[in-house]
Amino acid sequence: MDLFKGSGVALITPFKSDGSIDYETLRHLIDFQIENNTDAIIIGGTTGETSTLSYIEHMSIIEECIDYTNGRVPVIAGTGSNCTKKAIELSKEAENLGADGLLIVTPYYNKTTQNGLINHYSKISEKVDIPIILYNVPSRTGLNIDPITVKELVEKNQNIKGIKEASGNINNVAKIKELLGDKINIYSGNDNEIVPILSLGGVGVISVIANILPKETHDLVINYLNGNIELSRKEQIKMLNLIKALFKEVNPIPIKKAMEELKMINGTLREPLIEMEEENKKQLIKEMKKYGIKGI
């Protein structure tokens, strides 16, 4: 089962000025994404500041997204943890709420071994029936999933269907494709590597920039998959300076600032994340204008 092909948005969590979750704005953002051809919504991931949400808040945004989306596009819930027991609890609850799939990051901080990864993901897989996307982002977790580990996990667990590859290591992606072929869906986890990963057999992206450019990100992927490679390549290159500005500071500080400038949200972050530095903010706005984003 393919969860999706194309662009899945790594959706931010909007907060009110007092720091509580802004559910009305969340619904507006979901509509904006669907109206602009986003192929899937990923809720409760890194971009959603999940590490600062309580368990109840985490589950509530997943439930709200599932209920409001109402089957219009797949909803994939971020349920990773550095505690296997907690990841199982989160995953089972998200499945019960009606999530179409799960995005599960590798354990972070305490980390584990490659055999530990096989144990961790396999135990989660045994407890749920919906598809799982592995999330490899060693810059945040300090842990890389080796391609041979991905192969073993896919062959051992029938509901591990994809991997979000944000290692920045193209060799990793190529090796996964060599070992598994079409047995796994590879999604770019970095907006500046969408075309390179598609060229190695990837099927899409789980995207930060899609929060503000959903149609453009969808079109970039779909054009490539439909054989319009030159058009896709041009869009990837056009986006690069804006992508760079969106990652001048730790995600999601810049994307929330961009959305605030577009009056999509009020821009509130939860500490330890703080307001974007003025010089970086000026550069971000400059790149948004150069790209041609209306309303900036």
SS3 of 158-223: the string is CCEEEEEECCCCHHHHHHHHHHHHHHCEEEECCHHHHHHHHHCCCCEEEECHHHCCHHHHHHHHHH
Residue 195's pLDDT is: 98
Pick the CATH number of 6-226 from 3.20.20.70, 2.40.70.10, 3.10.450.30, 1.10.10.10: 3.20.20.70
Spatial CA neighbour of 37 closest among 219, 255, 234, 238: 219
Whether residue 262 contacts residue 293, with contact meaning beta carbons closer than 8 Å, is answered with yes
Structure tokens at 206: 């789980």
**Residues noted as catalytic:** 135, 164
In this prediction the pTM is 0.97
Mean pLDDT of 216-226: 98
Structure tokens at 162: 């994809």
Radius of gyration of the CA atoms of the chain, in A: 18
Residue 295's pLDDT is: 82
Mean pLDDT of 225-249: 98
**CB pairs under 8 A, 24+ apart, for 61-65?**
61/13, 61/21, 61/26, 62/94, 62/97, 62/99, 63/97, 64/23, 64/26, 64/27, 65/11, 65/26, 65/30, 65/41
What number of CA atoms fall less than 13 Å from residue 12's CA on the CB side? 30
> Cis link prior to 272 (omega < 30° from 0)?
yes
Q: How do the domains of the chain map onto residue ranges?
A: 6-226
pLDDT over threshold 70, residue 1: no
Residue 225's pLDDT is: 98
Confidence of residue 246 (pLDDT cuts 50, 70, 90): very high
